[in-house]
Amino acid sequence: MLKGETPKKKNTISLILLPWAIWIFLALDLLFFGWLFYRGTFSRSKVESVTAQEQSAITPAKSAGGTNLEETALNSPQDVRLDLIKAGNASLAAGANEEAIVKFTKAIQLNAEDEDAHFNLGIALTRTGKPLEAKKHYEKALEIVPDYEEVHNNLGNLLLVEGKTDEAIVHFLKVISSNPDNSNGHNNYGTALARVGKIPEAILSFSKAISLQNNHFDARVNLANAYLSQKRSEEALQELGVVLKMNPNFPPALKALARAKQKLSR
């Protein structure tokens, strides 16, 4: 997981120190920026139906498409791969998913062990309606980095769509075990629990997600739906009121509110 390098300043660094300076710069670059630019996005699901609402965590980067032939010829395969990943992230951020697929595929051809290229390719494939192909790349990313929590999260959501709830639960548990403060992980774990009828446990998970992120609208709506399933309409209305106060036009909350009012009128 590396960002692209900045141009080398031959006139300020001696030839002896140049290689070390570059590697130190790359190491700092990796620690500070790598996780921000290449960790893709998260999927979040509902109690009643699974959706692929993705919050993009991808920062647009300058495309490598403008590189001239002379520069390309001087670039190493590593440089080319990094440029491809940056361009792929930019395409994802712009919604150009097919372009992103091409970029990440080429990056993987240069290094099949790049877990971030596999992960972001999985995102692009999911967005273009190719979940089976996406799963293969998520699984490959986990072979390379078994505790890659974002991959576990997205793979769990794909498994929920397929109705493989027990398998999804395994992945969501890995998310929250490796990072107990992952609010999306708790929300999705609660969704999976609700699918298998474990509503009390699901309520605990949704509540945990909200405690970690007060404005987690999906978790609050999920909690409201869970309350409704237990005929706890007043508590459901309270949660929905919080959501609609912060986001008056949030469709899932409006839908749940109509259902809650219908239950109260009976």
Contact by Cβ (8 Å): 135, 158: yes
Confidence (pLDDT) at 117: 94
Asked if residue 26 is part of any domain, the answer here is yes
Residues 195-238: pLDDT tens digits?
Answer: 999 999 999 999 999 999 999 999 999 999 999 999 998 999 99
Q: Is residue 10 part of a domain?
A: no
Task: Give the containing element (helix H, strand E) for 202.
Answer: helix 199-212
Q: Which residues of 109-122 are buried (b: 16+ CB within 10 A; e: fewer)?
A: eeeeebbbbbbbbb
β-pair partners for 54: 43
Assess if residue 41 is contained within a domain. Answer: yes
Is residue 212 in a domain? no
Query: CA nearest 141: which of 125, 162, 165?
Result: 125
The pLDDT of residue 142: 97
Q: Is residue 99 part of a domain?
A: yes
Looking at residue 31, its pLDDT comes to 33
- Residue 78's pLDDT is 83
CATH of the domain at 153: 1.25.40.10
Tokens found for residue 250? 């949030």
In a domain, 33, yes or no: yes
DSSP 42-88: EEE--SSS---EEEE-PPP---GGG--HHHHHHS-HHHHHHHHHHHH
**What confidence score (pLDDT) does residue 259 get?**
87
Distances in Å between the Cα of 3 and the Cα atoms of 55, 78, 124, 132, 257 are 21, 11, 20, 29, 45
For residue 36, the model assigns a pLDDT of 29
Secondary structure of the chain: what % helix, strand, coil (to 5)?
A: 70, 5, 30
| 60 is a domain residue | yes
Reading the block at residue 254, the tokens are: 């409006």
Kindly tell me the burial class for residue 104, based on how many C-beta atoms sit within 10 Å of its own C-beta (0-12, 13-18, 19 or more): buried
Count of domains for the chain: 1
In the chain, which residues have pLDDT < 50?
A: 1-73
pLDDT given at position 196: 95
Predicted TM-score (pTM) of the model is 0.70
**Residue 100 resides in a domain:** yes
Please give the residue range of the domain that contains residue 22: 18-167
Residue type, 118: H
